[in-house]
Amino acid sequence: MPKNLHEIHKKKKLSRYLNYADIFVKITGHIFKNKGLFIKFIKSMRRSGFKQTLDKIKSGLYKERIIIYPANIDFTLKIVDYGNSRHKEIIEFQKFTSPRVSIIIPVYNNFKITYNCLMSIKQNTDGAEYEVILADDNSSDETAAADRYIKNIVILRDGVNRGFLKNCNNAAKYAKGEYIVFLNNDTQVQPDWLSSMVFTMENEPSAGIVGSKLVYPDGILQEAGGIIWREGLGLNYGKLDDPLKPEYNYLKEADYISGACIIIRKRLWDVIGGFDERYSPAYYENADLAFEVRKHGYKVLYQPKSAVVHFEGISHGTDETGGVKIYQEINRRKFAEKWRNTLEGCLQNGQDLFLARDRSRNKKHILVIDHHVPHYDKDAGSRTIWQYLELFIDLGYRVSFIGNDPRPYEPYTGMLQQKGIEVLYGKIDIVRWIIQYAKYFDIVFLSRPNIAEKYIDIIKKNTSSKIIYYGHDLHQDRLKKEHAVTNDKKTLAKMNAAKKQESYIFDKADIVFMPNRQEVDFVNDTTNTRKAKHIKGFFYRTIPLGTVTPFKKRSESVLFVGGFNHTPNIDGVLWFVSSVWPEIKRRNKNARFVVAGSNPPDEIKDLRSEDITVTGYLTDEKLSKLYESVKLAVIPIRYGAGLKGKTVEAIAYGLPAVCTSEGAYGLNETHDFLSVTDDPASIADTIIMLLKDEAEWQARSDKSIRYAQANFSFESVKNDFKHLI
């Protein structure tokens, strides 16, 4: 190795070691600051020795960290510390006559901790009408005078010391809200903590309990949902790891959520009867409640957007040989006995953490790999993958998504995580991740030929998964048609390369999905198999997509929709403007042409004039309004393959469309409502007629909607997929 390269290599290696050492020091420092963890650390050293204990920590936290994004030391929290002040600020809450949420805080002494907790609620709680109930378990410190500092809350204090569990049960009787939140006083809530939990309750009818992501004050993860093993032992999933890692940031089911912060439907709480008092004074009541919630047909969900700092150990201490903490093992045995039959369905201690972390042991698992997180509002291919991800969730699959470009593009990544999809992002070793978790996947769904070619051999070698290739279109066919139009030798070379690439994929895949029946036949003829199947590329839960604005309330505008990273869209618009539009304008001075789509190049932007609008990217909301305001859609594509999303979308909006034969490629039985011609004069004639003929426009609109309802409904594709798989 040349000297300069050798020095660079040494510096990189040293930098890497120093980085690991820096984070390692922070985490071991965290252990030494926490009494309970310190005791466990000492016990481990006595059993295994100092070196093996350190190796175990390093192995657990770094050796297996396939994904590192970003470093946990960068996790920023809002921590307040007003409780030690001699002259405390008065905290005055807003008073709601009919609160939706009742926040119950059970307390016993430690007023400065309680004060800080209340201050964090005051500072960080928006988006929900709530009341605060301070359940004082007969404290002997400044808590007894809490009403001097805290205004507009309910303070329950009747001279009885009930213990934690019974104190919670008693306080819940006074709750006015539709939802009850149990919040430890040794916590500090973070922005959006409550609104995200309430949102989950309102949008997930099956949710019975929703719990928060718990973190230590130094930003290290404390829990991302709890796991209960077959023996009744509990595990705080993700403890001491980076809270921003992908596996801790998707909405998911959990066996239980630690009671430091949970929300439950009050009517469900009342039906169950509250915490089971056999666990009094504390421990395992939260796990028991979670099991009761499932017994009543509801789910226990972990909501990562709700972050709460938990100063673990302040309430009950960390000594397991004395105080309240001694009940942890006593109550575990009670819990194991009560739920003996249910626990038989749980996993053995420490086994298959991948399945235990989100209760997916009885679900089919599907891994979806694409070029990056789908930008559903930027191009038709991404919208297709987005729709299939939603479909898989609806079918009950446990879904993981990997982008070859692993950047966590927003808002798309967050939206998928909130649907319950694990999106892998950051510094991820994709191949290593696939190999490590290969045994858990029943299906691998590959999108686009370059992505499929890159990963298909790795998947076949390391998994027994059924491999589905979704090609969107037949690339070799699209390039062949492009060459016929442009006569470009480079395109011919690309076509030959695509033919070789696609043949390789078709041979390796178990199933090839194509949205175009002609392309299904091509694949089957080429491979001499029946592995190619027809499945729809676009589908919708509700059709028509818009309200179908009446003809007379629409402008005399013609709309084109398409992302301009796709070259056929550039060619089609330029051809339409040069070959068709002049005739339309000559015969209808009021006609306007609207070009909508992301990333228009300069040659498209330069088309702007008094009668041509180039919008660039539009949100789905704005695009929907545009569909509702124009009279026609035009799809002037001269080469391509697959099914055109822009054509299907126009049909689903009930918007009459005029297409070239390529624009209508893959659609059958559309002759009575879809105009298809490659002749510029005929295109112009049809557009001019439909801009004026209300009766014909209405007839075509109605037929378009009926066609879309019959062919592109969500339920129809759901049934197709189940049948094909």
pLDDT 10s digits, 244-259: 999 999 999 999 999 9
With 60 as the cut, is the pLDDT of residue 599 above it?
yes
Please report which confidence band the pLDDT of residue 323 belongs to, taking 50, 70 and 90 as the band edges. low
What mean pLDDT, rounded, does the chain reach?
89
- C-alpha distance across the termini of the chain, in Å: 53
Name the one residue in this structure whose structure tokens are 């309240």.
324
* pTM, full prediction: 0.84
Q: Kindly state the average pLDDT of the residues 574-598.
A: 96
Backbone angles phi, psi at 508, to 5 degrees: -85, -35
Tell me which residue of 189, 183, 177 sits closest to 105, measured CA to CA.
183
With 50 as the cut, is the pLDDT of residue 114 above it?
yes
Q: Kindly state the average pLDDT of the residues 469-497.
A: 89
Task: Specify the pLDDT at position 411.
Answer: 92
18-48 pLDDT tens trace: 444 544 554 555 555 555 556 666 766 776 6
Task: Specify the pLDDT at position 671.
Answer: 87
365-392 pLDDT tens trace: 999 999 999 999 988 899 999 999 999 9
Task: Specify the pLDDT at position 489.
Answer: 87
User: Rounded to an integer, what distance in angstroms lies between the CA atom of residue 169 and that of residue 269?
Assistant: 10
Categorise residue 539: left if φ over 0, alpha if ψ from -120 to 50, beta otherwise: beta
Backbone angles phi, psi at 695, to 5 degrees: -65, -45
What is the total residue count of the chain? 725
Q: What does the block give as tokens for 75?
A: 């996790």
Cβ 186 vs Cβ 310: under 8 Å: yes
Tell me which residue of 162, 36, 22 sits closest to 106, measured CA to CA.
162
HSE-up of residue 91 (Cα within 13 Å, Cβ side): 19
Cβ 226 vs Cβ 255: under 8 Å: yes
Task: Specify the pLDDT at position 22.
Answer: 47
User: Rounded to an integer, what distance in angstroms lies between the CA atom of residue 536 and that of residue 417?
Assistant: 25
User: Rounded to an integer, what distance in angstroms lies between the CA atom of residue 478 and that of residue 567?
Assistant: 11
Residue 678 gets which letter from DSSP? -
195-211 pLDDT tens trace: 999 999 999 999 999 99
User: Rounded to an integer, what distance in angstroms lies between the CA atom of residue 673 and that of residue 657?
Assistant: 8
Task: Specify the pLDDT at position 35.
Answer: 53
User: Rounded to an integer, what distance in angstroms lies between the CA atom of residue 283 and that of residue 272?
Assistant: 18
77-90 pLDDT tens trace: 899 988 676 778 99
The CATH code belonging to domain 365-534 is 3.40.50.2000
Q: Kindly state the average pLDDT of the residues 406-422.
A: 95
Q: What does the block give as tokens for 87?
A: 């002259």
Burial 3-14 (b: 16+ CB within 10 A, else e): eeeeeeeeeeee
Please report which confidence band the pLDDT of residue 471 belongs to, taking 50, 70 and 90 as the band edges. confident
Q: Kindly state the average pLDDT of the residues 124-140.
A: 95
Task: Specify the pLDDT at position 70.
Answer: 40
Element containing residue 483 per DSSP (H, E): helix 475-486
Q: Kindly state the average pLDDT of the residues 554-558.
A: 96
Task: Specify the pLDDT at position 16.
Answer: 44
Bridge-based pairing of strands 179-183 and 101-107 is parallel
Bridge-based pairing of strands 657-659 and 675-676 is parallel
Task: Specify the pLDDT at position 11.
Answer: 46
Domain 551-716 CATH superfamily: Glycogen Phosphorylase B; (3.40.50.2000)
Q: Which range has the worst mean pLDDT, 22-26, 429-433, 581-585?
A: 22-26
Cβ 724 vs Cβ 533: under 8 Å: yes
User: Rounded to an integer, what distance in angstroms lies between the CA atom of residue 302 and that of residue 254?
Assistant: 6
Instruction: Check residues 331 and 482 and name the one with the higher pLDDT.
Output: 331
With 50 as the cut, is the pLDDT of residue 12 above it?
no
Q: Kindly state the average pLDDT of the residues 331-358.
A: 95
689-702 pLDDT tens trace: 999 999 999 999 99
Determine what percent of the chain is predicted with pLDDT higher than 90: 75
Name the architecture of domain 91-313+320-356.
Alpha-Beta Complex (3.90)
Q: What does the block give as tokens for 163?
A: 């213990």
With 80 as the cut, is the pLDDT of residue 60 above it?
no
Q: Assign 6 to helix, strand or coil.
A: helix
Tell me which residue of 264, 261, 329 sits closest to 300, measured CA to CA.
264
Tell me which residue of 423, 436, 355 sits closest to 385, measured CA to CA.
423
Tell me which residue of 550, 455, 463 sits closest to 504, measured CA to CA.
455
User: Rounded to an integer, what distance in angstroms lies between the CA atom of residue 98 and that of residue 91?
Assistant: 21
What is the DSSP secondary-structure string of 237-271? TTTTS-TTSGGGSS-EE-SB--TTEEEEEHHHHHH
Determine what percent of the chain is predicted with pLDDT higher than 70: 88
Q: CA torsion, points 237, 242, 243, 248, in degrees to nearest 10?
A: -50
Instruction: Check residues 603 and 282 and name the one with the higher pLDDT.
Output: 603
User: Rounded to an integer, what distance in angstroms lies between the CA atom of residue 36 and that of residue 450?
Assistant: 51
Task: Specify the pLDDT at position 428.
Answer: 87
Task: Specify the pLDDT at position 677.
Answer: 95
Categorise residue 350: left if φ over 0, alpha if ψ from -120 to 50, beta otherwise: left
Q: Kindly state the average pLDDT of the residues 590-601.
A: 95
Task: Specify the pLDDT at position 57.
Answer: 55
Highest mean pLDDT among 36-40, 73-77, 565-569: 565-569
Cβ 335 vs Cβ 232: under 8 Å: yes
Backbone angles phi, psi at 305, to 5 degrees: -75, -15
Q: Kindly state the average pLDDT of the residues 603-608.
A: 96
User: Rounded to an integer, what distance in angstroms lies between the CA atom of residue 647 and that of residue 560?
Assistant: 10
Q: Which range has the worst mean pLDDT, 308-322, 342-356, 376-390, 462-476?
A: 308-322
Task: Specify the pLDDT at position 72.
Answer: 33
Task: Specify the pLDDT at position 50.
Answer: 67
